[in-house]
Amino acid sequence: MNIVLAAAFLAIQPVLVRTASADQEGWATLAAAQASALPGFFDGVRLPGGPSSPVALPGLPVFRAAPPEGIPAAGIPFNGATLPRAVFSGQESVSGHLVRAVDATQGGLKLMLYDFSLQDVWDALERAVSRSPAVEVMVILDQGHVFPRAGRKPNAIIVKLVADPRIKTRIVAGLGDYGLMHNKIAIFDGKLVKTGSFNWSKAAQMSNHENAVFSDETARVAAFSAYWDWVWAHAYPPDAPRPPPELAGNPPEDPSPGVSFHSARFPVAVFSPKGGAAERILSAIGCSRSTIDVAMFSFTSRALAEALWERVQAGVRVRVLLDRKQSRSPYSVLPYLREKGMEVAIIDGRTKAGVLHDKYGIFDGLLVGTGSYNWTTNGEFYSFENAAFLADPADVSSFKADFERLWGLGRKD
């Protein structure tokens, strides 16, 4: 994949997400302009013009949230442990749940991690591979975190993970110049899957607004397992950086979409690159009849923004919550949303260093789309991502409660 196609990163295009410009020289120029215009970080990746040293993150107290009103706080049993269906940082310790899931794993653990710096989770992995019989741990890492750009050091836990002979590790680069292996996926014993926005990082645990979802649904675990296997087949041993892989077809698809929303059917999850996540999100927007609530770290897709405006014109109440830092990007849809008079709120992270890192939409209070997938062209075409669809009332109610809490904290001016 060449730089011409990669230049769609964060572009706002007044066309459907699957369309790319034919003006190749113009796209290359735009890519350079975008990179220079976005100082700091994008989803953990340092961009040109940002500070040269990492920001220290203070420790914060962690407390447990009450279950959503009217919905029982039923968890998911897993090998003697109980995991939450959905958990939100700042409400309780996500890393604590990850530790309990790893400690309960008996046979195999498959991970696909963009970042990893949580010491307590690393300690749990070490316990897992030290047991008798040992748990087989296989990890796919983002190449940019194993081999960071000049001036940055890989974090100590990734160094230890790659060096541990008991753990099978591979790396993969996103497509083009700006693609990432951006997933935050864990599959425990082939029976339980974790997804959501939550990176296995200190920033996610201590500073950001995040979500993590656990599921033991057979179809969901099977879909994520097939995707993990597909990405593993495109990954390489971590001995040296590699160019972006040549994809062997598109990502696997849910063979029998079983998530119902009004008259439409949605897959349990859609995967990137080029798996059609934007198309499914457009469908969810188009099917919505009363309300759409969006909490999004990076939102640059003009097609999705225009679809939201169409629903507003049809009488649907649309609220969009955006991260303050990312909404300053010249490619953010914030100006468009404000021009149309839509309900928008801007929010910071839980600390000065943090961000709103969620990537979810709630449609009519009946369907949630969440995962690692930002509403961007980059997420659709160039990064390895997932977008999961949830329709269980307990799951949806949890996300509704989280959105109302964050909406109350957001700045509406």
Nearest to 320, CA basis, from 346, 356, 357: 346
**Which residues does 126 contact at the CB level (< 8 Å), separation at least 6?**
none
Same domain, 312 and 180: no
**Angle made by CA atoms 374, 376, 380, in degrees to the nearest 5:** 90
Are the C-beta atoms of 403 and 321 separated by less than 8 Å? yes
Number of domains in the chain: 2
Same domain, 193 and 270: no
CA distances from 352 to 92, 209, 297, 413 (A): 19, 12, 15, 20
Residue 6 included in any domain: no
Same domain, 327 and 201: no
Last residue of a domain, one of 203, 234, 265: 234
Output the six-digit token pair for 259.
């998530």
Output the six-digit token pair for 322.
């955006």
Give the whole-angstrom CA distance, residue 54 versus residue 50. Answer: 10
Give the pLDDT of residue 67: 40
Give the pLDDT of residue 177: 86
Give the whole-angstrom CA distance, residue 315 versus residue 328. Answer: 29
211 strand-pairing partners: 88
Same domain, 260 and 186: no
Same domain, 113 and 148: yes
Residue 74 included in any domain: no
Q: What's the pTM?
A: 0.84
Same domain, 215 and 268: no
What is the SS3 assignment for 363?
Answer: strand
Residue 246 included in any domain: no
Give the pLDDT of residue 241: 95
pLDDT digits (tens, 9 = 90+) for 53-106: 332 323 332 323 334 444 444 799 999 999 999 999 989 999 999 999 999 999
Give the pLDDT of residue 154: 83
Task: Print the domain residue range for 101.
Answer: 83-234
Residue 10 included in any domain: no
Residue 56 included in any domain: no
Same domain, 218 and 96: yes
Assign residue 204 the CATH number of its domain.
3.30.870.10
Same domain, 313 and 221: no
Same domain, 229 and 264: no
Find how far residue 283's CA is from the centre of its chain.
Answer: 20
Give the pLDDT of residue 387: 98
Same domain, 260 and 211: no
Residue 387 included in any domain: yes
Output the six-digit token pair for 33.
């302009």
Give the pLDDT of residue 100: 98
Residue 165 included in any domain: yes
Give the whole-angstrom CA distance, residue 33 versus residue 294. Answer: 28
Residue 352 included in any domain: yes
Same domain, 175 and 216: yes
Same domain, 309 and 389: yes
Residue 63 DSSP class:
-
Counting as low any pLDDT under 50, the low residues of the chain are 1-73
